[in-house]
Amino acid sequence: MLRAKIIATGSYAPAKKLTNLDLEKMVDTSDEWITERTGIKERRIAGEKQTTSDLAYEASKIALKQSGLKAKDIDLIIVATVTGDMPMPSTACLLQNRLEAKKAAAFDINAACSGFLYGLSVAESFIKAGTHKKILLVGAETLSKFTDWKDRTTCVLFGDGAGAVILEATEGENCILSTHIHSDGSLWELLNLPGGGSKNPPTKESINKGLHFLKMKGNETFKAAVRTLESLVTDTLKANNIKPSQLSALIPHQANLRIIQATANRLGLSMDKVVVNLDRYGNTSAASIPIALDEAVRTGRIRKDDYILLEAFGGGLTWASALIKW
């Protein structure tokens, strides 16, 4: 039976750092509040002309190099993002052009912070079906461009970056064991970016009302995330007959350290098994898991035969998980 395997990873974050101390000068906040409530210390900010596809391109080049494949070998490109370069064409098509991956079909996925794991689920299905054999999956965001820098309840949270993986078919047992995707559209108002679509097309009024900035009911989202992730991670392990003690690493979406700790507690995992980098990047939405995965691979935290659990929660609402035998 064909299964999907991640054969290479790559990530990229813009050079510019914005620290909590920088934010203290911009809005009524403090390093202490941000650190205690979120765990974030600094985040990266894209340059004025730097787009989501630019970040995706840098991360993809690294993953391709590691894989030993050429761009022309890739037959599908999926980009998970809510901050694409333009509403149309897809950021995946722009990336295909930059990479000169001429053979590849390309499309975007919008599942907010769960986007990378939704993409992993789609990529896994395409590989299992045998229709595509070498897939480039990228999570990339420039949330800084959709952030209201006067709104302290959101602007301290988000950052920019991209992470990429290359997937290939395998018949071996080192592969993606399962993926799980879920949504609850009734809670869409908890986290949204209301402007720029057919509901609120861009007008002077929509700009004045701040509709092109991300909105979040933080505390309600927090509670929904903790509740949902607890059952998601236990169900994912159960579906594979794996005990938490067999896990080598948990790679969570990097939204809030307290959410991450609650999920680890539920599994009885000590925090040294949990990959955390939100102190350095903030919440990079769809990019957060592939950046953390890439760092874990490169620093040797993940080794062959390790069981790794990935989980995410975000706007939609959406939530998703994957269990991998590395």
And the tokens for 7?
């054969």
Find, among 49, 100, 54, 104, the residue nearest to 81 by Cα.
54
User: Shortest Cβ distance from residue 215 to ligand UT7 (Å)?
Assistant: 12
And the tokens for 67?
């894989």
x/- track of binding to ligand UT7 for residues 127-156 (CB under 6 A)? -------------------------xx--x
From CA 18, how far away is CA 204, in angstroms rounded? Answer: 29
Does residue 256 interact with ligand UT7 by CB under 6 A? yes
Q: Which stretch binds ligand UT7 (CB under 6 A): 59-67, 129-137, 216-224, 318-326?
A: 216-224
Residue from 314, 318, 319, 325 touching ligand UT7 (CB under 6 A): that is: 314
Residue from 4, 18, 113, 278 touching ligand UT7 (CB under 6 A): that is: 113
From CA 176, how far away is CA 236, in angstroms rounded? Answer: 12
Residue from 89, 194, 210, 218 touching ligand UT7 (CB under 6 A): that is: 218
Does residue 38 interact with ligand UT7 by CB under 6 A? yes
Is 180 marked active-site? no
User: Shortest Cβ distance from residue 225 to ligand UT7 (Å)?
Assistant: 4
Q: Which stretch binds ligand UT7 (CB under 6 A): 66-74, 124-132, 221-229, 264-272?
A: 221-229
Q: What is the DSSP string of 133-201?
A: SEEEEEEEEEGGGG--TT-HHHHTTB-EEEEEEEEEEESSSSSEEEEEEEE-GGGGGGEE--SSSSSS-
With CB under 6 A as the rule, give the number of residues binding ligand UT7. Answer: 20
From CA 108, how far away is CA 144, in angstroms rounded? Answer: 20
Is the backbone of residue 130 left (phi > 0), alpha (psi -120 to 50) or beta? left
Residues that bind ligand UT7 (CB under 6 A): 29, 33, 37-38, 113, 152-153, 156-157, 218-219, 221-222, 225, 255-256, 259, 283, 313-314
